[in-house]
Amino acid sequence: MKNRALAPEVRKVWMTTPAPRIDKYESRRIRVAIRRVLLEVWDPIGIRDEPNAQDEYDSYLGDVFELLTTGAPDDELKAYLNWVSAERMGLRDAPDEIMASTISALRNIRLDPDL
């Protein structure tokens, strides 16, 4: 994460907010849930039903995980996903309704195993 060229407003938070300790099993569960949201809700290139492309967004899981677990606000999640769409994929920003659904689905991922 630290070596990636991200928008300055997104990079600032990651550099200052420590990540909580999450055991590896919980981390895996959360990342699987993030993967599902990126494929089923966000899916900017339309590969959700393509069996051979189910790992297409995996390189973004760690960054989204870090944003979620460090308490980044919704606008930072949106900025990151829009940055990925524009800078990594050469696409336009996702429509507001898709971004709202994506952020909502990401926020519904249970981060605390005791809840």
Q: Tokens at residue 67, please?
A: 């944003």
Single-letter amino acid, residue 14: W
pLDDT above 80 (res 43): yes
Whether the CB-CB separation of 66 and 14 falls below 8 Å is answered with yes
DSSP annotation of 56 reads T
Question: Which tens digits make up the pLDDT trace of 24-41?
Answer: 999 999 999 999 999 999
**Average pLDDT score over residue span 53-68:** 95
pLDDT above 50 (res 75): yes
Three-state DSSP state, 72: coil
pLDDT of 22: 81
